[in-house]
Amino acid sequence: MPLRLLKYAWKKSEDEPRFFPDETPLKKAYDVVIIGGGGHGMACAYYLAKEHGITNVAVLEQGYIGGGNTGRNTTIVRSNYLTSEGVKFYDESLKLFEDLSDDFDLNIFYSTRGHFTLAHTDSAMRTMRWRAEVNKHHGIDSEVVDVETIQKEVPYMDMSCNGQHPVMGALYHAPGSVARHDAVAWGYARGAQQRGVEIHQKTRVTDIKTKGGKVVGVETDRGFVEAKKVISMVAGSTPRITEMLEIETPIEIFPLQACVTEPVKPFMDTIVVSGSLHVYVSQSSRGELVMGASVDPAELHSTRSTLDFVEGLTDQMMDLFPFTSRLKIMRQWAGMSDITPDFAPIMGKTDVEGFYLDAGWGTWGFKATPVSGKTMAYTVANDTPHELIKPFSLSRYADFKLVGEKGAASVGH
Amino acid sequence: MKFVTCPSLGRRALSEFTYGGRLEKEPDQESVSEKAWTDYVFYRNGAPQTLKEWWYHRPTGIWFLFERNTLTDRITQVEFANRGIENEA
């Protein structure tokens, strides 16, 4: 980054080159077609080109780059999960995140904040100790801290929660971070494109064609495209894609809402999560409080916002931070989360030859962007699942080998 | 706020209800194969569609069946899950 800045400073002209080149017509055939131009799709394209030398790749996106759940999450990155499978996977992601700004020569505003998961009950404390031990076993910086430590780090928080649900302790995860989510998608997209990958925005896949149980191409609203391999990386639209191939999955779509307040002076540099109150909050570099809660109560394929959500969230938030009653909510929005029964993703091969699935990202997709791209690229290039994603296969439910990831954000457990 | 008109109860706020998942026919537990059982428990078509769903009205403790579209969120039919008073007679 500094080198680029210096070069820019010495240049006579001020025009920056276009970040993405102009649109090209679709080619007749590709080796790999990636459906979905969000963080995961772009990351997969990037690692396919960079690490496996596969560059005859098209990323087809029905909207615009990073316009789906990549741009709708609350940007938290952490690895203090509960299961061994989850911890190993997300820790690899966190390590990749730390180097992304340098890899891309683009500032992704990666900011290590420290992450408190509050416990208000004995059973929550027990889960925190359990998570801390699993984390430590895998060499992850994670510990249970007492009320005094939390109060010192987050002085504006009411530790009694208005006398309703006093904080008893917390799981503290020092590497917990936030990053600019759009920049992650843009960085991967530019890196992929520079290596020969084509990105086609406003191109909707309407059908996937097979011949003898093998993928032969995709039908789009811009015509048919031949493809040897097709990867679905579409988060909340997964069931619409799998329906094209009559693949059944345990995924159900629930809207996940979030909101931000007006900007205020920096007062909180940590990320605070309360599983019992179903809220999480961090302060963005612009000073806004970015807040989220649990998913909506019923299955729905929509990104509409509701007043019920803001009412419920702010009610809990005012218990934690009483002064927020004076703040105004500036924006609210929703994304479609593809929730699985065990709160872990579904990744890897399917029964249809040449069709790969990266789905079930529910409320935990952004933090997995780099590792999911990397492991899916490996899986597609070698036609065999990467070691880290073996536990996340679609067939695990039929084998009764569920992952049971209870460390996921904003899910009731 | 969303409202729904129910038999006996009239117009009620949807926030009074708890979602109970989609209505699916449970296979016979004695004769079911393992595959059919996992298909019933886990695997489904999650694409947008009109579904029959369980909804529980908390204040009265009554289970209803709603016919609802998961794309438009429109509830087109509401009935008692146990057919109410007719069944109890």
- pLDDT tens digits, one per residue of A226-239: 999 999 999 999 99
For residues A259 and A331, the answer to whether their CB atoms sit within 8 Å is: yes
* pLDDT tier at A408, thresholds 50, 70, 90: low
pLDDT tens figures, A125-176: 999 999 999 999 999 999 999 999 999 999 999 999 989 899 999 999 999 9
Contact B70 A250 (CB under 8 A): no
pLDDT at B68 over 80: yes
pLDDT band at A223 (very low <50, low <70, confident <90, very high): very high
Residue A373 tokens, joined:
């791209």
**For A82-123, what is each residue's pLDDT tens digit?**
899 999 999 999 999 999 999 998 999 999 999 999 999 999
Q: Does any CB of chain A come closer than 8 Å to the CB of residue B35? A: yes
pLDDT above 50: residue A411: no
Distance from CA of A237 to the nearest CA of B (A): 8
Is a pLDDT exceeding 60 seen at residue A279? yes
Question: Which residues are registered as beta bridge partners of A119?
Answer: A169
pLDDT of residue A340 exceeding 80, the answer is yes
Nearest residue to A83 (alpha-carbon basis) of A391, A375, A390, A365: A391
A307–B38 CB contact, under 8 Å: no
Q: How far is A207 from chain B (nearest CA, A)?
A: 14
Chain A neighbors of B51, CB-CB under 8 A: 299
Question: Is B52 within 8 Å of chain A by CB?
Answer: no
Return the exposure string of A326-364: e unless at least 16 CB atoms fall within 10 Å of the residue's CB, then b. Answer: ebeeeebebbbbbbbebbbbbbbbbebebbbbbbbbbbb
pLDDT at residue A190 in the model: 95
Q: Which residues of A205-216 are buried (b: 16+ CB within 10 A; e: fewer)?
A: beebbbeeeebb
Q: Is A397 close to B35, i.e. CB distance below 8 A?
A: no
Report the pLDDT value the prediction gives residue B88, as an integer from 0 to 100: 46
Mean pLDDT to the nearest integer, B4-14 = 94
Question: What pLDDT does residue A276 have?
Answer: 86
Domains, chain A, ordered by start:
26-112+177-251+341-406 (3.50.50.60), 115-174+252-339 (3.30.9.10)
Percent of chain A whose pLDDT exceeds 70: 98
The pLDDT assigned to A250 comes to 96
Q: Does the distance separating the beta carbons of A297 and B45 come in below 8 Å?
A: no
Architecture of the domain made up of B3-24+35-88: 2-Layer Sandwich (3.30)
Cα angle at A369 between A200 and A34, to 5 degrees?
30
ipTM given for this complex: 0.91
pLDDT of residue A275: 84
Q: pLDDT confidence of B86, banded at 50, 70, 90? A: low
Please judge whether B39 and A250 are an interchain contact, meaning their C-beta atoms are less than 8 angstroms apart: no
Check pLDDT > 60 for residue A407: no
pLDDT of residue A19: 85
Whether A127 and A83 have beta carbons less than 8 Å apart is answered as no
pLDDT for the residue A18: 81
Interface with B, mutate which of A207, A251, A402 (most B CBs under 10 A): A251
pLDDT digits (tens, 9 = 90+) for A182-217: 999 999 999 999 999 999 999 999 999 999 999 999
Rounded average pLDDT over A270-279: 91
DSSP H stretches of helix in A322-368: none
Average pLDDT over residues A42-66: 96
How far B1 CA sits from the closest chain A CA (Å)? 7
